[in-house]
Chain A
Amino acid sequence: ETGVTQSPTHLIKTRGQQVTLRCSSQSGHNTVSWYQQALGQGPQFIFQYYREEENGRGNFPPRFSGLQFPNYSSELNVNALELDDSALYLCASSFSATSEYNEQFFGPGTRLTVL
């Protein structure tokens, strides 16, 4: 069974650029959530996708957008990058979107640096 994978591992961009991060969910999972983790902080929920539809969003501006594909893999897009977007971006997949007891399986993350 393949776990959650993310690409790229590291990325360096300049302010104002756009970036796309990718996530392949664990086999059999139909839900993907994205989190942003600044240095020394806990992860912050960005949004969740369930069966290709956005299913909840955290306190992030519209320049953070996403997609989920029929195979349940997902992309996170960030436009007009700002210095504060520098962080570890984590993807997590799960069997169900709303279950209270469902565990989420996290990938290793993409480290984004904005200069």
Chain B
Amino acid sequence: DAKTTQPNSMESNEEEPVHLPCNHSTISGTDYIHWYRQLPSQGPEYVIHGLTSNVNNRMASLAIAEDRKSSTLILHRATLRDAAVYYCILKGSSNTGKLIFGQGTTLQVKP
């Protein structure tokens, strides 16, 4: 299973953009890049996913490097509610749909 590397923690100010990086240098051609986040005392929730092209949804944007060895989750205006652990996960067809979580990045948002 391909591995991802994320910073342990990041800080942001409220209403400012946040860029959460993820390195996945051993990604295979068919691996999708998924992001989940886990708010305090809750189960993880899906944020966004992509394969090659940048993606946008109501929660965030995902920027994928041209060589696919890294990606960045972008929160355009952080709110206090965005304080969570963010997980970058690679999901391929060979892993029976399981999600392999790393340590994730703990995002603190300051008012």
Contacts and interface: CB of A to CB of B under 8 A. Distances in A.
Secondary structure of the B contact surface, majority rule: loop
Contact of A41 (B41, B51, B96, B103): B103
Given A100-B31, A100-B32, A109 B96 contact: no
Given A108-B42, A108-B43, A109-B43, A100 B30 contact: yes
B21 interface: no
A92 interface: yes
A33 interface: yes
A48 interface: yes
A44 interface: yes
Contacts of B92: 100
B103 A90 contact: no
Given A48-B96, A97-B96, A42 B102 contact: yes
Interface string B19-52: 0000000000011101000000111111001010
A45 B98 contact: yes
> Top 9 A-B pairs ranked by shortest CB distance?
A42-B101, A106-B43, A56-B96, A103-B46, A45-B98, A100-B32, A43-B101, A106-B44, A98-B97
Given A45-B100, A56-B95, A58-B98, 8 more contacts: A33-B98, A42-B101, A43-B101, A56-B97, A96-B97, A100-B92, A101-B32, A107-B43
